[in-house]
Every structure is written in structure tokens, then in C-alpha cells.
């Protein structure tokens, strides 16, 4: 809300509150639709998501313009164009019994007609066209249709089935529960035209059953004979009980009664303002390192040793260290006065989540800002410097988890909403495009789901919902998305998980992915280099044979290597060419063994079969992490067995 100043509440509805606001950048009045997501059902979230999707698809002078959306105070905020003239319903109500002249009626009607034609060309059904959803400019000459909360995007010439809409405007086929298409919107358009001509609704009744009977019979009072027979015939044609006999929108436009108002509309230069092309978002500045594989670790200081007794400065609430990517020893990162409970690192990103749910970032300063050798020819190596800051634009949003990829970041809110920002290359942000985004933006395609976990690879993302649904997007080569192809996707795609399995957690590697199931089994897809996914069929006693080796998998497949296919897996992680898994407090490693990454001195060349490490005793491993050339374990002392009595 930093960009907007609230002026007043202009409306309240089933889905939230509508605010009139001032956009500070250009002093323009805009509407902010506030939709609370904290207590919304899945269907209500889908409706909110649908409205954003539909508005972004539409660009027409007679359709309310969409600006942006963001999260604020546990609510989805949709910024859109403000129409100061109120609704067409209010305009009609103020007329009392003073009928409009036919030219005014047709002037309004053809604008609605053009807007609806634009909507239908985008394969969208409005499904709630009514005078309350048609807005006017300040001169009450230009109309704009809005409120696309229950609109439906049709994938083809399919028909919709759900009974939605305002009762007075629903079509006979909706009343009967039959499938419907654009012809139901044309019925509603006929109702709107009737209302303009008669100043009352075509179908009204004391209760819903009586209303349905009226609609099904198609009986309504005739309009005044002051209007032309052509206008009366146009209304009758749109309110035909048989959808197939209602005219198409282009047929209505071609009728003689509409040609003159259409010509007047387009020859009255300047009466309808066309919108300017949308400005592209500014690219996100990036910092390039010579190597990848940076690592971040968080630690809580013990006692008061971190503070200074001489200065009286209290110790930091958390200490964060990073190493790798040219940093040879752990470097303590600068801290804000907060406690960090979870961290993640990508190629350039270093991020953490604070105890209060804020996102903290550590960034390299601009070139030359960190100081350095000032004498010509100086060659001493300086320790890299970083600047810490809270991420802007998350006011009122509580972050629960963060995951960093290669030049991009994904975070999960406490309300199950995923937000992403950074580089849009490879479609990793999931926004349906490849545009860079500098501040967290909602992944709108997932608004209808309550997400519980998100994981980033170098250039792809996996996420899982509370109903065990798995979604993937980003680069698809090697089959890492588990969608059965090598294609890339810039918006979330639902992954087909084998029906006998339920996803509990997702894991992303450089070029592969894993799902840890509710029954503690591993499903994997992507590159199986060095059998790092455990997809080779290997028993505990046999060596792998060429015919049992899997190069890559494009769908999620059960691990076939013993003991991964026999023991319950508590947690696992994937490196570039090796992996590790924890089974009942013990750890197995396998894959490429260079530089001792498998934890075995005698296995420098590699080990395709997962083997348990005995060296972890007397500790119990609680979690494991792999990167390019090393493996980290989190352990706790093993519980000693009590002596038998």
C-alpha cells in the first residue's frame, strides 16, 4: 500500500471491500478491491484468482482496466480503473419514471455490445452481466463492464455447467441446469437492454421459484411503443428461450438499428480513450559470481558473548554465515535487529525468514561501493561485503518459508500463498511470462490452493498443496518437471503423481526432482546421472547391470535401488551428481564420490548403490543437504537404551 493513499470505502460485497484510493505516483484515482484470503475457501480463492486472470487478458476502452495485484494485511488487493459515474443500475434508478430516448439507450447498448464482443473473442464468459456491473465515466457517456469474479475462461467451444450469476439475469438453460455458452451472456445483455428501455427488470418475482417460472416461460411486459419496432424486436431476439435462436454478437452489430450508434461512437473523435500500451517492468539488477554453489547457515548465539561489554551493544538475535562462491571460510553476514529462523541461498540470492515472518535479503553492494585497494597495481584479496535489508512490498504479509533458485526467489506465506521475484528467465517465477519482477508477486495460478511447501532448483520450481497436489514450472529438460515431456512452462502445471502415492514434500536439484511421499517413499524424475535419483534397479548384493540403468525419467518414478525401495525415508536431498537420504536416523549416500562427498574415503570414484554410513554413530541424523561437492548433516545425540531390569 506504499503506492496508494486510501480515500474512502465505496462498496462492500460478498468477496470483500472496495476502496477508492489515490495513486501517489501520478495522483490518479484508482479502485482497490480488497479480498480477504485468511478465511476464504478454495472456491473463493479460485474466484479471486479468476478475476485477476480475466482482467489481465482484456484490453478494451469499454472494459474496466486492470493495473496490478498484491498482498496486504492478509488480503489480496486488486488495483483497477475507477469509474466515477457510478453504476448503470444507479443511473436507471435515478431516472424514476422518466424514460430514456432511444438514441441514449443505443449509445449505452453498443458500448456494452463491443465490450462483450471483446470478452467473447478471448473465449471468456462473463456470467454475471447486469446493470450493477456496468460502470459509467464522470460525464455518464462512456460505459465500462467490470466485476469478472465468476467469469469462466473457455478452453475451446466448450460449454459451462455451474449455475452462477444474479437470479434476475440468468438464462433459461441455467435455470434447467443445462450446459451453456456465450448465448447465456446474450440473454443477460437482452435483460440489460430491456432495463434501459423500461427502467425496470425484465424478470422479477417475490421469490426464487416464482422467478424461475417467469424466466422459463419467457413472459415479460412489453416496452413502451414510443420505441421503434426494431428495438423491440432486438430485445425479443436476445430473450428467446431457445439459445440457438438468439443472435450472435456480430449479427447484432450488423443490424440496422446498431450501425448508426456504432458509427457515431467511432466518428466522435476523442469520446472513448484508448489505453496506452502497458510499460514493461524494469529488469531486476543482478550480481554475477564466477562460481555457483554458495551456502548460507544460520545460528543462534549462545549466552551474551556476541555483545560488547565495553560499548553496551546487545548481542545479535541471530548470526548468519555464508561460504562458497569464492568465500573460502565462513563469513558472518551483517544482521538487522531480528531473529532469523530459516535461510536459503541461490547463485546470487541469500535470503532468510525472521521469527516475525519478514523476509531479509543479503546483497552485494554496487560495484565500487564496498571500497578496495586504491593504489594502482594493488592485488590484495578483500573479503566480499554484503548489505542486509528487509524486502519491501510485504506489508501485512507473513512469510513462513523461503527458497532461492538461480537468480530468483520463491516464498510461502502463512496463508498458503506463493510469491516469487527475481529473474523471469526460464519462466521460473510462474507468472505466465518471462518478465523480471523486483518485488514479491503472487503466483496467481495457485491462488485457488493452499500451498504448504515450495522448493527451488537452479531453474525450476516444485510446490505441494495441503491436498497433496504437486505443481511444477520452469525449465523442463531432462524431464525435471515430471510432466512427461522436456518442455518448459512459465506457469504452474499440475503433476500427475502415481495414484497409490500422496506427496508430503518436494525436493529440487540442479536438473532433477524428488517427491517424498506420506508413506516415506521416494519418487524421482529428471537426470539420473550416477544414479543420483536411485532409479537404477540394484539389489543390496548385486552390482548394477547396463540394462537396469536409467538415464533420465520424465515422470515421477519410485526409487528402485536398495535400500531406498525397502526402508522408510525420513528426508533426502539431491546434489549435482550425488544424493543422500536419511532412513530411521541413519544416512545413506550414493552417486559420484569425488572429494569425499559420499563420506567414505574408499569411495572416491563413486558408488551407484546407496550405502549406509556407520560413521554417523553415536549420533542420529535429523536432516541432510547436498550441493555440488559436499554433504551436510544435522545430527543430535542418539538416545541411549535403558538397561533391562
Residue 491 belongs to domain with CATH number: 2.130.10.30
**Within a domain: residue 606?**
yes
What is the arithmetic mean of pLDDT over 276-299?
Answer: 40
- Residue with the three cell numbers 472496495: 18
What is the arithmetic mean of pLDDT over 487-507?
Answer: 94
Whether 424 contacts 434, CB under 8 Å:
yes
Q: Would the pLDDT of 486 be above 80? A: yes
Percent with pLDDT over 70 in the chain:
74
Q: What CATH number has the domain bearing residue 34?
A: 3.30.200.20
* 514 bridge partner residues: 507, 524
In 3D space, the residue among 145, 143, 139, 141 whose CA is nearest the CA of residue 124 turns out to be: 145
With bands split at pLDDT 50, 70 and 90, how would you rate the model's confidence at 167?
confident
Q: Which whole-number Å values give the CA distances from 303 to 188, 317, 318, 335, 636, in the listed order?
A: 70, 11, 12, 18, 21
pLDDT 10s digits, 194-223: 999 999 998 988 888 888 888 888 888 999
With bands split at pLDDT 50, 70 and 90, how would you rate the model's confidence at 152?
very low
Between CA 143 and CA 137 the distance in angstroms is 7
Looking at mean pLDDT, say which of 39-48, 141-150, 216-225, 338-347 comes out highest: 216-225
Predicted local distance difference test score (pLDDT) of residue 379: 42
Stronger pLDDT, 519 or 585, i.e. the higher one:
519
Domain carrying residue 35:
4-81
Give the least confident one: 185-189, 217-221, 343-347, 582-586: 582-586
State whether 542 and 608 are in the same domain.
Answer: yes
Q: Would the pLDDT of 303 be above 50? A: no
What is the arithmetic mean of pLDDT over 45-57?
Answer: 71
Predicted local distance difference test score (pLDDT) of residue 621: 58
Q: Which are the catalytic amino acids?
A: 128
Predicted local distance difference test score (pLDDT) of residue 614: 63
State whether 256 and 134 are in the same domain.
Answer: yes
Predicted local distance difference test score (pLDDT) of residue 462: 97
State whether 320 and 394 are in the same domain.
Answer: yes
With bands split at pLDDT 50, 70 and 90, how would you rate the model's confidence at 59?
confident
Stronger pLDDT, 472 or 313, i.e. the higher one:
472
Stronger pLDDT, 288 or 379, i.e. the higher one:
379
Stronger pLDDT, 36 or 130, i.e. the higher one:
130
Give the least confident one: 25-34, 158-167, 446-455, 474-483: 158-167
Q: Would the pLDDT of 58 be above 60? A: yes
State whether 218 and 170 are in the same domain.
Answer: yes
Q: How far is CA 226 from the centre of its chain?
A: 53
Q: Is 281 exposed, middle or buried (0-12, 13-18, 19+ CB in 10 A)?
A: middle
Q: Would the pLDDT of 104 be above 80? A: yes
**Within a domain: residue 514?**
no
Predicted local distance difference test score (pLDDT) of residue 280: 38
State whether 359 and 248 are in the same domain.
Answer: no
Predicted local distance difference test score (pLDDT) of residue 111: 94
DSSP assignment letter at 155: S
What is the arithmetic mean of pLDDT over 301-315?
Answer: 46
Sheet holding 66-72, edge to edge: 4-13, 16-23, 28-36, 75-81, 66-72
Q: Which stretches of 300-358 are assigned E, i.e. beta strand? A: 319-324, 327-332, 340-345, 350-354
**Within a domain: residue 449?**
yes
Q: Is 458 exposed, middle or buried (0-12, 13-18, 19+ CB in 10 A)?
A: buried
Q: Where are the alpha helices (DSSP H) in 254-346?
A: 256-267
Q: What CATH number has the domain bearing residue 225?
A: 1.10.510.10
Sheet holding 451-456, edge to edge: 451-456, 460-465, 470-474, 489-495
Q: What is the rounded average pLDDT for all residues in the chain?
A: 78
State whether 119 and 66 are in the same domain.
Answer: no
- Residue with the three cell numbers 572416491: 604
Q: Which stretches of 325-436 are assigned E, i.e. beta strand? A: 327-332, 340-345, 350-354, 359-363, 387-390, 399-404, 408-413, 418-422
Last residue of a domain, one of 33, 48, 81: 81
Between CA 606 and CA 615 the distance in angstroms is 18
What is the arithmetic mean of pLDDT over 104-127?
Answer: 88
Give how many domains the chain has, as a whole number. 4
What is the arithmetic mean of pLDDT over 119-135?
Answer: 84
Between CA 85 and CA 101 the distance in angstroms is 19
Between CA 23 and CA 77 the distance in angstroms is 14
Sign of CA dihedral 332, 337, 341, 342: negative
With bands split at pLDDT 50, 70 and 90, how would you rate the model's confidence at 177?
confident
Predicted local distance difference test score (pLDDT) of residue 319: 79
Looking at mean pLDDT, say which of 281-285, 480-484, 497-501 comes out highest: 480-484
State whether 105 and 51 are in the same domain.
Answer: no
Q: Would the pLDDT of 312 be above 80? A: no
State whether 627 and 526 are in the same domain.
Answer: yes
Predicted local distance difference test score (pLDDT) of residue 208: 80
Whether 280 contacts 296, CB under 8 Å:
no
With bands split at pLDDT 50, 70 and 90, how would you rate the model's confidence at 57?
confident
Predicted local distance difference test score (pLDDT) of residue 633: 54
State whether 62 and 99 are in the same domain.
Answer: no
Predicted local distance difference test score (pLDDT) of residue 161: 34
Q: Which residues contact 198 (CB under 8 A, 6 or more apart)?
A: 99, 221, 223, 224
**Within a domain: residue 275?**
no
Predicted local distance difference test score (pLDDT) of residue 392: 67
Q: Would the pLDDT of 29 be above 80? A: yes
Q: Would the pLDDT of 113 be above 70? A: yes
Between CA 191 and CA 211 the distance in angstroms is 14
Predicted local distance difference test score (pLDDT) of residue 286: 32
**Within a domain: residue 370?**
no
pLDDT 10s digits, 396-427: 678 899 999 989 999 998 888 898 999 999 99
DSSP assignment letter at 38: T
State whether 263 and 407 are in the same domain.
Answer: no
**Within a domain: residue 274?**
no
Phi/psi at 109 (nearest 5 deg)? Answer: -60, -45
With bands split at pLDDT 50, 70 and 90, how would you rate the model's confidence at 483?
very high
With bands split at pLDDT 50, 70 and 90, how would you rate the model's confidence at 127?
confident
**Within a domain: residue 121?**
yes
Predicted local distance difference test score (pLDDT) of residue 640: 47
Last residue of a domain, one of 478, 496, 514: 496
Predicted local distance difference test score (pLDDT) of residue 112: 93
What is the arithmetic mean of pLDDT over 297-318?
Answer: 50
State whether 287 and 433 are in the same domain.
Answer: yes
Percent with pLDDT over 90 in the chain:
29
Predicted local distance difference test score (pLDDT) of residue 631: 56
State whether 396 and 338 are in the same domain.
Answer: yes
pLDDT 10s digits, 228-273: 999 999 999 999 999 889 999 989 988 889 988 888 876 554 444 4
**Within a domain: residue 112?**
yes
Amino acid at each position: 500500500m506504499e503506492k496508494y493513499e486510501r480515500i474512502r470505502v465505496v462498496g462492500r460485497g460478498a468477496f470483500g471491500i472496495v476502496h477508492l484510493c489515490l495513486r501517489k505516483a501520478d495522483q490518479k484515482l484508482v479502485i482497490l478491491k480488497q479480498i480477504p484470503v485468511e478465511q476464504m475457501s478454495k472456491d473463493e480463492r479460485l474466484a479471486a484468482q479468476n478475476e485477476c486472470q480475466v482482467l489481465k487478458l482484456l484490453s478494451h476502452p469499454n472494459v474496466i482496466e486492470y493495473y496490478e495485484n498484491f498482498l496486504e494485511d492478509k488480503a489480496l488487493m486488486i488495483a483497477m480503473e475507477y469509474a466515477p459515474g457510478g453504476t448503470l443500475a444507479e443511473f436507471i434508478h435515478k431516472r424514476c419514471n422518466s424514460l430514456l430516448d432511444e438514441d441514449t439507450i443505443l449509445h449505452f447498448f453498443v458500448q456494452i455490445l463491443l465490450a462483450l464482443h471483446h470478452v467473447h473473442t478471448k473465449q471468456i464468459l462473463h456470467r454475471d452481466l447486469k446493470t450493477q456491473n456496468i460502470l459509467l465515466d464522470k460525464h455518464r457517456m462512456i460505459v465500462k463492464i467490470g466485476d469478472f469474479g465468476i467469469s469462466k475462461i473457455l478452453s475451446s467451444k466448450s460449454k459451462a455447467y455451474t449455475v452462477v450469476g444474479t437470479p434476475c439475469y440468468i438464462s433459461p438453460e441455467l435455470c434447467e441446469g443445462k450446459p451453456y455458452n456465450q448465448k447465456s451472456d446474450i440473454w443477460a445483455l437482452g435483460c440489460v437492454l430491456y432495463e434501459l428501455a423500461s427502467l425496470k427488470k425484465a424478470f422479477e418475482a417475490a421469490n426464487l421459484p416464482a422467478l424461475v417460472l417467469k424466466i422459463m416461460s419467457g413472459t415479460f411486459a412489453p416496452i413502451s411503443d414510443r420505441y421503434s419496432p426494431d428495438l423491440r424486436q432486438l430485445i425479443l431476439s436476445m430473450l428467446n428461450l431457445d439459445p440457438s435462436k438468439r443472435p450472435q454478437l456480430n449479427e447484432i452489430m450488423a443490424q440496422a438499428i446498431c450501425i448508426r450508434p456504432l458509427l457515431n461512437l467511432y466518428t466522435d473523435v476523442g469520446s472513448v480513450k484508448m489505453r496506452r500500451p502497458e510499460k514493461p517492468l524494469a529488469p531486476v539488477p543482478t550480481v554475477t559470481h564466477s562460481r555457483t554453489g554458495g551456502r548460507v547457515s544460520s545460528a543462534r548465539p549462545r549466552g551474551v558473548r556476541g555483545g560488547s561489554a565495553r560499548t553496551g551493544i546487545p548481542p545479535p538475535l541471530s548470526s548468519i554465515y555464508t561460504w562458497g562462491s569464492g568465500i573460502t571460510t565462513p563469513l558472518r553476514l551483517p544482521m538487522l535487529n531480528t531473529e532469523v529462523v530459516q535461510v536459503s541461498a541461490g547463485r546470487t540470492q541469500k535470503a532468510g525468514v525472521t521469527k516475525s515472518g519478514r523476509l531479509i535479503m543479503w546483497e552485494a553492494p554496487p560495484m565500487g561501493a564496498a571500497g578496495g585497494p586504491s593504489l594502482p597495481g594493488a592485488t590484495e584479496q578483500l573479503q566480499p561485503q554484503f548489505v542486509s535489508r528487509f524486502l519491501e512490498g510485504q506489508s501485512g504479509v507473513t512469510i513462513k518459508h523461503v527458497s532461492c533458485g538461480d537468480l530468483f526467489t520463491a516464498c510461502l506465506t502463512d496463508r498458503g500463498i506463493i510469491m516469487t521475484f527475481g529473474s523471469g528467465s526460464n519462466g521460473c517465477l510462474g507468472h505466465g511470462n518471462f518478465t523480471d519482477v523486483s518485488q514479491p508477486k503472487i503466483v496467481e495460478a495457485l491462488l485457488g490452493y493452499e500451498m504448504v511447501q515450495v522448493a527451488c532448483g537452479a531453474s525450476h520450481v516444485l510446490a505441494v498443496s495441503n491436498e497433496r497436489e504437486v505443481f511444477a514450472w520452469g525449465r523442463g529438460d531432462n524431464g525435471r518437471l515430471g510432466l512427461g515431456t522436456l518442455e518448459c512452462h512459465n506457469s504452474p502445471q499440475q503433476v500427475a503423481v502415481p495414484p497409490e502415492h500422496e506427496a508430503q514434500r518436494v525436493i529440487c536439484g540442479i536438473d532433477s526432482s524428488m517427491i517424498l511421499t506420506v508413506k516415506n517413499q521416494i519418487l524421482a524424475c529428471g537426470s539420473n546421472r550416477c544414479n543420483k535419483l536411485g532409479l537404477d534397479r540394484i539389489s543390496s548384493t548385486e552390482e548394477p547391470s547396463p540394462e537396469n540403468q536409467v538415464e533420465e525419467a520424465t515422470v515421477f518414478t519410485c526409487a528402485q535401488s536398495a535400500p531406498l525401495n525397502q526402508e522408510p525415508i525420513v528426508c533426502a536431498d539431491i546434489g549435482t551428481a550425488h544424493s543422500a537420504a536419511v532412513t530411521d536416523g541413519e544416512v545413506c549416500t550414493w552417486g559420484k564420490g569425488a572429494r569425499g562427498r559420499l563420506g567414505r574415503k574408499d569411495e572416491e570414484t563413486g558408488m551407484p548403490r546407496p550405502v549406509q554410513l556407520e560413521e554417523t554413530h553415536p549420533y542420529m541424523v535429523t536432516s541432510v543437504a547436498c550441493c555440488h561437492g559436499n554433504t551436510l548433516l544435522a545430527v543430535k545425540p542418539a538416545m541411549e537404551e535403558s538397561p533391562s531390569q
